[in-house]
Amino acid sequence: MSPSSSKIPYGGDYNPEQWPQEFWDADHRLFTRAGIDTLTVGVFSWSLTQPAEDTYDFTVLDRVLDRAAAEGRQVCLATGTAALPPWLAKAYPEVNRTDFEGRRHRYGQRHNFCPSSPAYRRLATAMAARLAERFADHPALLAWHINNEYGGVCYCDLCAGAFRDWLRNTYVTLDALNDAWWTAFWSHRYTSFEEIEPPSALTEHWRGPDHTAFQGLTLDYFRFTTDALLGCFLAEKEVIRTHDPVTPVTTNFMGMFRPLDYHRWAPHLDFASWDSYPPLDAPPTWPALAHDLMRGLKDGAPFWLMEQTPSTTACRDVNPLRRPGELRLATFQAIAHGADAALYFQMRASRGACEKYHGAVIGHAGRDDTRVFREVAALGAELETLGDATLGARTPARTALLFDWDSWWALEISDGPSRLVKYQEVVHAYYRAAREAGADVDVVPHTADLTPYDVVLAPALHMVKGDLAARLEAVAERGGTVLATFLSGRVDEHDRAFLTDVPGPLAPLMGIRIDEWDSRRADFAQPIPELASAGRLVFEIVQPRGAEPVATYGSDFYAGTPAVTRNAYGRGEGWYVATALDQPGVDQVVRRVLSRHDLIGPYADHEGLETAARVALDGTRLLFLLNHSAQPAGLTVHTDATDLVSGKKVEAGDPLTLDPLGVAVLRAQQIVRPRSSATPDFRKK
């Protein structure tokens, strides 16, 4: 269930409560010039709307929503519960978080609440209920936005008690818990749930949150924190639904955000939304991976781009400026990967505090002749022209990439083989290779239905849970290809090593056995001659058990042993990459896998060109062409189509030139049916 609209909602975070009335008048005049039709309001308004525990004041919010409705704009209304008002922290000190070092914080900053605090839950849900009761039928209301960018961990006594309750519900018995955490090690066997302490700098950790003596305990605290914050979200959603059973509800995620497992949240959101702030020197596949991860949360349903900067961020040590054209390209990239809304932070620059230098559509001087405002306005006009052509469109991918928060956590809190291995970097390398080869990719959880896919990429699948190994074998049995990498298949759901040959449950599919592994410093490169490439960080010593070597190590005592293998399994194949190949090596391996299924795109050899496909609700295919290069891209059209951006019609064989940072959206004439085309449209009526 996503919000209904006749075009891509365009706008962003707006904080008129910071400004006098005359600024509102100027803002709305500028919004009209820029094509702004959607405003996210009330995100940090708790201290305004509830100045004391027994006092509510919605005067300003009434005016904000009424003014939006009068101007023909729609509102994504936040509950404002992400930052405590000062009176609440003073009246109920237990709502302030206790940090990893055991220090109870005093009032300040934001995301400053303990998720286990009864006072916070009671007062936050009361606020959400009051808002829903008052604004459920407001003509400007488009969606509910609960809290904001959930995150942070608390280690207070309330959380310790809640954690013990969570463990009782999860394990039921202490015998099961002791076995899962392997507590016979270091005399840790528990005889009462009350003996269990949250893993912190005062208990199991040293040198920070990633160095823990008991990985199972720390892993469960990550899971508990995810569920505790989710409980806060669900409590607010429940009271909203009491007064408003139809308006879609969301909260804004942060893409590849390690602290929270968004797959555990996904079923509870009516639509996914997220805030995109990639490093501006990152390759374009980095934000693309996050977009596809967000799309994968709801089984391929479109998401909202809830925030992006129109120009620059302010929270980093160095905050580069988006160059001319980069905002437009980034926005169309989000749409290409499944965004059904394009919103900014922020609409008007704050005059004070830590975000006063953060980019905004309207700067401090309130001008409409700045480069940023002109670019935002020009993009608004293009999105108006695009209309509803992309809304609800799905991605017809035949390649899946498994993304697993448990594997991420378990890998990076493990002692050995190497703390230099970073889950995101490994996953991104394989995603990048597939995308640059022209394949559309669904980024999916380990529980996903894998039957629609010809290729499943499972990089750094450190933890193998449930029936995943059997489902991966089924992909190969019917003719598909599964690729796994080093440090895959190592541990079970409790982070215990499998009592079998590495790579554990994946060994039969991969046709290999691994007894030993080497690891080296980051500056060491192990040559891989067959790929004219190199491996780094970890070097698993592979013994083929049915698999054939594809590439081998070039030095040390294990020179000549396989670094990459391929195993025939059923009508398909299992590929294993035993080291962290450099990007050219990953590219070669992934292209060999994709080519087996004819998944190399026609524009794969155009450097800097990104392609992405969506299938519209009417069955027409939309091909997005995005030129990330500073040079023009000369292409040949492969089918009769209309470019929705320029309005021009093209025929198969016609030349097409994309300007530097240019965009085309080719709507083909033929009708296709994606695997998810039968999914009903639950947009609000």
Catalytic residues: 149, 307
Please report, as a single letter, which amino acid is at residue 416: G
Rounded Cα gap, residues 308 and 278, in angstroms:
9
Chain mean position to CA 638:
32
**Shortest CA distance to 269 belongs to which of 242, 294, 287?**
294
Backbone phi and psi for residue 61, each to the nearest 5 degrees, phi listed first: -65, -40
Q: Provide the token pair at 374.
A: 């002109």
Is 570 in contact with 477 (CB distance < 8 Å)? Answer: yes
Q: Using CB atoms within 10 Å of the CB of residue 259, give its burial: 0 to 12 exposed, 13 to 18 middle, 19+ buried.
A: middle
Q: Provide the token pair at 658.
A: 């994309």
Q: Which residues contact 432 (CB under 8 A, 6 or more apart)?
A: 283, 285, 289, 583, 586
Q: How many angstroms separate the first and last alpha carbons of the chain?
A: 10
Number of other CB atoms surrounding residue 330 within 10 Å = 23
As beta bridge partners, residue 252 has 273
As beta bridge partners, residue 10 has 342
Please report, as a single letter, which amino acid is at residue 156: C
Place of tokens 């005049």: 29
Beta strand pairing status for 526-528 and 533-544? antiparallel
- Cα-Cα-Cα-Cα torsion 190, 193, 198, 199, nearest 10 degrees, comes to 20
